[in-house]
Amino acid sequence: MAAITLLSTQGLSKQYAGLTAVNNVNFELPTGQIRALIGPNGAGKSTFVGMLSGRIESTSGSVQFNGKDITRLPAHKRISLGMAYTFQITSIFASLSVHENVALAARRASGRAVNSRVRDALGKVNMADRQHHIASDLSYGHQRLLEIAMGLVQSPSLFILDEPTQGLSSSEIDAFVALIKSIAGDTTVLLIEHNMDVVMATADYITVLNFGEVLAEGTAQEIRNNAKVQSAYLGTSHA
Amino acid sequence: MKDQLRTSLFHLLIIGLMAGLYFTLPEYHSGVLARAMVLAVYAMGYNLLFGYTGLLSLGHALFFATGMYGLGLAMQHLDVGASTGIVFGLIAALVISTVIGFLALRTTGVAFMIVTLMFAQAGYLIILWMGEYTRGDEGFAIQASERVLAGIDLSQPDNRYFAALVLFGISLLLIGWVVRSGFGKTLVAIRENEERARMLGYNVHRHKWVAVIISGVLSGAAGAAYALLFGYVGATFATVQYSIFPLLYVLLGGAGTTLGPLVGTVFMYYLIDLSSQVTSAYLLIAGVALILLTLFAPQGIIGELRKRVFPWLP
C-alpha cells in the first residue's frame, strides 16, 4: 500500500514572548498510521498538536491536511474536515448526560442515526450501560473514556489524543490499547503519550520532540536504540 | 422526535390553561396576567441567551425598546396600521440585534455585560436626544382607535388578553422547539464548555450570534406588543431597570427552563402587588423573598421542580 500523506507541516514554529516552544518542525503523517509523539515534559508536544488542531495559532510555518492548506483555518473548521481532538486535561460537558455528551459530537459530524452511533461509540469504550449517567458523576477514568468516545463517534480521519491514558487504571489502559489497535487502519491516530508500554504496544512509528524540535523519528525499535533519545530522556545530553 | 412532541404537547397544555384562566379569574387578575405574558415573552427571549447560551446581557432593554419604538414611531409618524407597525418593530429589533450581537460578541464574560449595558445606555440617550420624535421621557400614547389589528380592538381587555396569549403561545412553542433542536442543544453545550464545543467542530461564534438575534427579536416582539396592547411608548422601557427585570424573572422562574420566564414574571408581579398592599416598604418584603429564593432555590422555581420532582420538564 502506497503511503498517502494525511497531515504534514513545514517549518511549523511557535514563539511565546521570546521563548520558542516549537521550532521549525517538518512533520509527515501517512494515512492509516498510528503515530506516537513522545518527549520529555516541556518538549512542545501539546503546543505542536494545538497548532495542528487550530487551538493554538502558529507563529510561522504551514499545516496541510488531506491535501489542503489549513494553516489559516479556525479550529472548528479543521475539526469539521475530519479531525477529532481529546484534551490533555479532560474536557467534557460535566452537567450533561453521557449520552448527550457523545450525541453533541455525533450531531456535528452528521445528523444521521445519532442514537445508534452514540451507542456504538459508547460500546467501544465499554460504557454502553452508563448512557444516562451525568458526566460529572463518572470516575475520572470513565470521563477520559467518555472523551475518547466523543472523538470516535465523529469517525474522524485523524484522531489526536493528548495523553489519553493519564490517570487510567492498568486494566483501563489495556482496554485502551486494544481499542486503538481496533480502530487502526480506518483512522489515523496521533498519540501524545508518556506511558512507554502504551507507545510500544500501539505505535507504528514514533516522533520524538525535545526542546521544540524533532529529535528523532523511527519505529519503536529504532527509537529504543537511538543514543540521542536515550540521553534526552536520561538527562545525559552534552548539548 | 418523541422528545419534541412531548415538549410541544406540554406547552400546548400550558397555553390552554392560560386561556382557561381568563374565564375563571376576576378581571383585575386577567389584566395582570395579560401584562405578565407580554413581559414573559421578553424574559423568554432573555432566557435563550442567558439560561441556554450562558451569555449574561445587561442591555436587553435596548431590544425591548427597539421593538416598542419601531412600532410606536412608525404608527405615530408614518401613519401606518398596527400590523405594519409590528413589522417595523420586528425588523428594527432584527437589525439592531444583528449589529449589537456582531459587536458585543467580540467580548466575553464581564466585558460582554459592560458592552451590552453601554449599548443600551446609548440607546436610551438616543431616545432622549431625538425628543422631537420620541417625546423623550414623557413618551407618547397610541390612541385606542389605532390599536386595531385585523379588525380586533386591542384596547378591550378580553381581546388584549387573548392577543397577549397568542404572542405568548407562539413564543413558547417556538422556544420549546428551538431548545430541543440540535441548535438549542449546541447552545447548552457552549454554555457548559465553550472550548469543548469549539473542538467538536461547532462554530461557537455563529451560534452565539444567532442566539443574540433570536433573543433580540423576541424581546423586540414583546416591546412592540406592549406598546400596542397597553397604548404607551416611553423612554422608561429603555432604562437599565428594564434590562434587569428579565434577568430577575428568569433567575426566579428558572434559567434554562421554558416555563421559568412566565413563572418568574407572574411571581414577581404578585410579590410586589401583594406586599405593597400590606406595607409601603414593599420593596423590603420583595427583597427578602428574593434572597430566600436565591438561598433555598438557586435554580429558580421551575429549575428546582425539575431537579427534585419532574426531571422531564423542558
What was the ipTM of the complex prediction? 0.90
- pLDDT band, very low/low/confident/very high, at B186 (cuts 50, 70, 90): very high
What was the pLDDT predicted at A183? Answer: 87
Residue A235 scores a pLDDT above 70: no
Domain hosting residue A10, numbered range: 1-82+159-239
- For A148-161, how does the pLDDT look when each residue is reduced to its tens digit (9 = 90+)? 999 999 999 999 99
Same domain membership, residue A175 and residue A68:
yes
Residue B268 inside a domain? The answer is no
Question: For the whole model, what pTM was predicted?
Answer: 0.91
pLDDT above 70 for A239: no
| Residue A88 domain flag | no
Query: At B164, is the secondary structure helix, strand, or coil?
Result: helix
A2, pLDDT greater than 70: no
Mutate to test the interface with A, among B180, B199, B299, B306 (most CBs of A within 10 A): B199
Residue A71 sits in the same domain as residue A167: yes
A97 domain-assigned: yes
Interacting residues of B36 by C-beta distance below 8 A, sequence separation 6+: B262, B265, B266, B269
Mean pLDDT over residues B124-136, rounded?
91
Note whether A73 and A42 are same-domain residues.
Answer: yes
Based on the fold, state whether residues A110 and A203 are members of the same structural domain. Answer: no
Q: Which domain holds residue B194?
A: 2-240
Q: Which of residues A131, A155, A179 is at a domain's end? A: A155
Contacts of A10 (CB under 8 A, 6+ apart): A26, A61, A62, A64
Mean pLDDT over B178-191 rounds to 95
User: What's A179's domain CATH number?
Assistant: 3.40.50.300
Reported confidence tier of residue B313, pLDDT bands at 50, 70, 90? confident
A69 with A168, same domain? yes
Q: If you average pLDDT over residues A195-210, what whole number do you get?
A: 92
- In this prediction, residue B5 carries a pLDDT of 87
Q: What domain count does chain A have?
A: 2
Q: What pLDDT does A238 receive?
A: 47
How many other CB atoms are found less than 10 A from the CB of residue B221? 26
Which of B4, B200, B306 should we substitute to test contact with A (largest number of A Cβ atoms within 10 Å)? B200
Q: How far is A226 from chain B (nearest CA, A)?
A: 36
Cβ-nearest to A80 among B186, B196, B201: B201
Torsion of CA A115, A120, A121, A126, to 10 degrees: 120
Interval A121-135 mean pLDDT:
93
If asked whether residues A70 and A101 sit together in one domain, one would say no
- Same domain? For A111 and A226 the reply is no
pLDDT digits (tens, 9 = 90+) for B143-169: 888 888 888 888 888 999 999 999 999
- B274 reaches A (C-beta below 8 A): no
Is 90 exceeded by the pLDDT of residue B243? yes
Domain check: are A35 and A134 in the same one? Answer: no
Q: Is residue A206 part of a domain?
A: yes
Q: Are residues A51 and A151 in the same domain?
A: no
Average pLDDT over residues A30-53: 93
Could you give the C-alpha distances from A84 to A21, A26, A231, B219, in angstroms and in order? 23, 21, 33, 38
On whether residue B42 sits in a domain, the answer given is yes
Instruction: State the Cα torsion A128-A131-A135-A138 to the nearest 10°.
Output: -50
Same domain, A57 and A170: yes
Nearest to A151 by CA among A142, A141, A137, A161: A161
Residue A139 domain flag: yes
Give a yes or no: residue B284 inside a domain.
no
Same domain, yes or no: A78 and A167: yes
pLDDT of residue A111: 82
Assigned C-alpha cell, B48: 435563550
A24 burial class (0-12, 13-18, 19+ CB within 10 angstroms)?
middle
* CB-CB under 8 Å, B202 with A76: yes
Probe site for chain B from A80, A104, A143 (most B CB atoms < 10 A): A104
Across residues B201-221, what is the average pLDDT? 97
Do residues A141 and A230 share a domain?
no
Range A30-50 average pLDDT: 92
Residue B37 domain flag: yes
Query: Confidence band (pLDDT; 50, 70, 90) for A95?
Result: very high
DSSP state of A208: E
Q: Which residues of A touch B (CB under 8 A)?
A: 53, 55, 75-77, 79-80, 85, 87, 91-96, 100, 103-105, 107-109, 111, 150, 154
| Rounded mean pLDDT, B245-267 | 94
C-alpha cell at B7: 415538549
> Tens digits of per-residue pLDDT, B263-305?
999 999 998 888 888 888 888 887 888 888 888 888 999 999 9
Nearest Cα residue in chain B from A53: B199
Residue A87 lies in a domain: no
pLDDT tens string B56-111: 999 999 999 999 999 999 999 998 999 999 999 999 999 999 999 999 999 999 99
- What confidence score (pLDDT) does residue B185 get? 95
- Residue at which a domain ends, from A155, A179, A207: A155
What pLDDT shows up at residue B280? Answer: 85
Nearest to B192 among A75, A87, A96 (CB): A96
β-pair partners for A61: none
In the predicted structure, residue A1 carries a pLDDT above the cut 50: no
How many separate domains does chain B show? 1
Flag the least confident range among A58-62, A110-114, B50-54, B114-118: A110-114
